[in-house]
Amino acid sequence: MSCACFVFLLCAAAVAQTASGTVAPPAADPGQTKAAIAQMRAPIRSVPLSVVVESLTGHKVLPFDSENPSHAEVLKRLNRAAAAVVAKIKSEGGINSKRVNEVGNAVEKYVRAALDAEGLPSAVPTGAKSGRAREVGYPDITFTFNDERFYMECKTYSAATAGTTMRTFYLSPSDDPKIACDAVHLLIAFETSRAGDTYQLVHYKLVSIEQLALDVKYEFNSNNRRMYSGNDGAVTIADVACE
């Protein structure tokens, strides 16, 4: 599938979404619908984040320029903030969690506090339409410096998973996207070391992700109401209460 076709599909998906986050049924005839679905079999790989974001939101992903004095200062402050996060968690004896996924959520709170302390006032991004803070979805954090907006994703990883192809970055169309303006997009990632249920941070990376290569994985889904109500095309052929 061509990049132009990919951009068209992304825009169509974003426009078609309703307030409930679902996509309205296609108005095309069955033949056109089948043809569109058949196109989905063609893999779409290595699409730059900048293309995806602008297609979905209309906002540009601005490049991080280390030669820009303002960006160079941001990098210095980010390094200090990251080091402060590592030191703070170490001083508290690490993060205790039985689920590795919860460690990343815990680290995010430390990152925001460290950004604020470094003069990079941070917040949870708000929906472009609703204006409400949204915890779920990309990106995790927004901060400003010299009146310039930055978006930041916060991740954790282990030495064993760093080089794998496990999917850990997700960006989906939304009728209320968290990206509300042109901005630099960054990633802060901490390598974790585990002893039992205690995690320490042992390494960090700061990454500019303007050109991060993204792949598309199509998925068709439904819900319990559709499956069990006898409506929306599902026909109940037995409905028996068991003693």
| Mean pLDDT value across the chain | 89
Contact between 59 and 181 (Cβ < 8 Å): yes
Residue 183 lies in a domain: yes
Contact between 56 and 14 (Cβ < 8 Å): yes
Span 199-220, pLDDT tens digits: 999 999 999 999 999 999 888 8
4 CB burial (10 A radius; 0-12, 13-18, 19+): exposed
Structural domain boundaries enclosing 189: 3-228
Pairwise CA distance, residues 84 & 110, whole Å = 9
H-type alpha helices, 62-146: 69-91, 100-117
pLDDT the model gives residue 22: 47
Residue 166 lies in a domain: yes
Residue 223 lies in a domain: yes
Span 121-138, pLDDT tens digits: 999 999 999 999 999 999
Q: With bands split at pLDDT 50, 70 and 90, how would you rate the model's confidence at 16?
A: very low
Contact between 71 and 77 (Cβ < 8 Å): no
Pairwise CA distance, residues 169 & 58, whole Å = 21
Tell which residue, 97, 168, 101, has the closest CA to residue 138: 168
For 37, residues 6+ apart whose C-beta sits below 8 A from its C-beta are none
Residue 118 lies in a domain: yes
Residue 14 lies in a domain: yes
**CATH classification at residue 118:** 3.40.600
Residue 243 lies in a domain: no
Q: What is the tally of structural domains in the chain?
A: 1
Distance set, CA 142 to CA 25, 138, 192 (Å): 34, 11, 23
Pairwise CA distance, residues 75 & 97, whole Å = 30
pTM, entire model? 0.83
